[in-house]
Amino acid sequence: MGAPDSEDGQGLIVLEAGADAAGLRLDQWLAARMAPDFSRGRVQALIKQGAVRIGGNVADSAKRKLAAGERVEVALPEPEPADPQGEEIALDILYEDDALIVINKPAGLVVHPGAGNWTGTLVNALIHHCGESLSGIGGVKRPGIVHRLDKDTSGVMVVAKTDRAHRALSEAFADHGREGDLKRAYVALVWGIPSRAVGTIDAPLGRASDRVRRAVVPEHRDDARHAVTHFTVQERFGEDRKEFADAALVECRLETGRTHQIRVHMAHIGHPLVGDPDYGQAFRTKANRLPEPLREKVKAFPRQALHARLLEFRHPDTHMTIAFEAPMPSDMSELVQAFREF
C-alpha cells in the first residue's frame, strides 16, 4: 500500500491531500494512495460505510472533490467473520505463504458453496485451515477464489489469502497470461485418436440449452466468449486393434479459461473425455467395444477423465514465477494404465 502519512496501529490511516490532489474525486485519490492493498471498489465501500473522514467530518460521497491540504482519515474495520463457516476437511497442500495457498484438489470436491453444496466445499476447508492468516478479501475473512476446477476435475489450484494477492491473481487469470507468466496444463483421456498430434481449437463458447452446460456458438452471439485450447497427443491406445474402440491421452494447454472449456472443445472436434457425463453421452457405448477387464473399468469410472497437471504464475508479492505440478490421481492413472495394457 502507498505509505500513509501516519497510522495509529488501531486501523486508522491518516493521509494529507497534496497540491496534486486538488480537484480529484475522493475515491480516485484514495484508491491510488492505498494501492495495491485496496481497490477502488473497496475504497468506495469504506466511504459508504462512513469509515472515511475529511477534516473530522464523515465523507458523504465518493465523488467529493478534494482540496489541497485536507486531512483524510480512513478507519479500517476488522475483517468480518467468514460466511460460510470453516470445516475440517483434509487438504493436499502443495505450497502456502502469507499471500496464497496452492492445493491439489481431489475429484469430487466442490470449490465454492452454492445450490446443493452449501457445506463440504474447498472454501469451507480453506476457511478452517487458514484461520487468522486470511487478512480479508473485500473486508471478509475468506479465501479469494481466482479460478475454478469442476467438481469432478482434479489438480492444481491457487487461492489468494489477501486482497492484494486476490486482485493480482484475478487480473492474471482474466488476462489469460498474455501480459504475464501464467501457464495451465491439463491431461485428458479422450475417445478416439485425434488426426493431428498437435492442434489448436479456436471456437467461442456460450450457454447451451440449460444454465450449466456450455457449447460452441457463433461468435456474433451476445454470450459468445473467445476460447482457445492447444492440445498435444501424448499416447495412443488401441490404434492397431481395429476391432476395439481407441482412445488417447492428450495434454491440453489453455490460452483462455472458460467454463468447461476443455470438455466442450474436445467434444467439438469429436474426441470427448472418457467418463464425461455432460459432453460424452453419445460415446457411452464406446465402452462396449473394449475387451474385459477394461470395459468394466471404463463403465465404472465415475467422472470426466481430466486432471490439472501444471499451474505456473507470477507470485503477486515477490513477482517471481513459480510452478506447481500434481501427478494424476490414482483413479485416473489406473484407468490410463488399463488402456495401456489392453
Q: Mean pLDDT of all residues in the chain?
A: 88
Res 9 pLDDT > 50: no
- Residues 6 or more apart whose Cβ sits within 8 Å of residue 220: none
- Which is catalytic among the residues 60, 97, 150, 246? 150
Question: Nearest-CA neighbor of 286 among 265, 305, 308?
Answer: 305
Structure confidence at residue 38 (pLDDT) = 75
Give the DSSP H/E element, type plus range, for residue 172: helix 163-175
Average pLDDT over residues 168-189: 85
Give the pLDDT band of residue 183 (cuts 50, 70, 90): very high
**Is 222 one of the annotated active-site residues of the chain?**
no
Per-residue b or e along 205-218, where b marks 16 or more CB atoms closer than 10 Å to that residue's CB:
bbbbeeeeebbbbe
- Residues 6 or more apart whose Cβ sits within 8 Å of residue 323: 183, 310, 311, 312
Domain boundaries for CATH 3.30.2350.10 within the chain: 93-175, 183-341
| pLDDT tens-digit map of 23-36 | 999 998 998 888 76
Q: Which three cell numbers stand for residue 110?
A: 466442490
CATH of region 93-175, choose from 3.40.50.300, 3.30.70.520, 3.20.20.70, 3.30.2350.10: 3.30.2350.10
Structure confidence at residue 295 (pLDDT) = 93
Res 116 pLDDT > 60: yes
Average pLDDT over residues 90-116: 92
Structure confidence at residue 163 (pLDDT) = 85
Indicate the range of 7-21, 40-54, 143-157 predicted with least confidence.
7-21
Res 261 pLDDT > 90: yes
Percent of the chain whose predicted confidence (pLDDT) is above 70: 91
Cβ distance 142 to 166 under 8 Å?
A: no
CATH of region 183-341, choose from 3.40.50.1010, 3.30.2350.10, 2.60.40.420, 3.90.1010.10: 3.30.2350.10
The string of DSSP codes covering 190-231 is: EES--SSSEEEEE--EEE-SSSS-EEE--TTSTT-B--EEEE
Domain boundaries for CATH 3.10.290.10 within the chain: 6-75
Strand partners, 198: 232
| pLDDT tens-digit map of 217-247 | 999 998 899 999 999 999 999 988 888 889 9
Distance CA 326, CA 149 (A): 14
Give the DSSP H/E element, type plus range, for residue 199: strand 198-202
Sequence length of the chain is 342
What CA–CA distances, in Å, run from 222 to 149, 204, 210, 225? 25, 11, 16, 9
Distance CA 178, CA 170 (A): 13
**What is the C-alpha end-to-end distance of the chain, expressed in Å?**
59
| pLDDT tens-digit map of 263-298 | 999 999 999 999 999 999 888 889 999 999 999 999
Architecture of domain 6-75: Roll (3.10)
- Distance between alpha carbon 250 and the CA centroid of its chain, in Å? 22
| pLDDT tens-digit map of 309-322 | 999 999 999 999 99
Distance CA 44, CA 4 (A): 18
Give the pLDDT band of residue 7 (cuts 50, 70, 90): very low
Percent of the chain whose predicted confidence (pLDDT) is above 90: 59
Structure confidence at residue 305 (pLDDT) = 98
Give the DSSP H/E element, type plus range, for residue 95: strand 93-96
- Residues 6 or more apart whose Cβ sits within 8 Å of residue 318: none
Res 8 pLDDT > 50: no
Distance CA 301, CA 274 (A): 8
Structure confidence at residue 46 (pLDDT) = 86
Res 186 pLDDT > 70: yes
Give the E-state strand segments of 211-335 in sequence order. Answer: 214-216, 228-237, 247-254, 306-314, 321-325
Higher pLDDT, 306 or 143: 306
DSSP 309: E
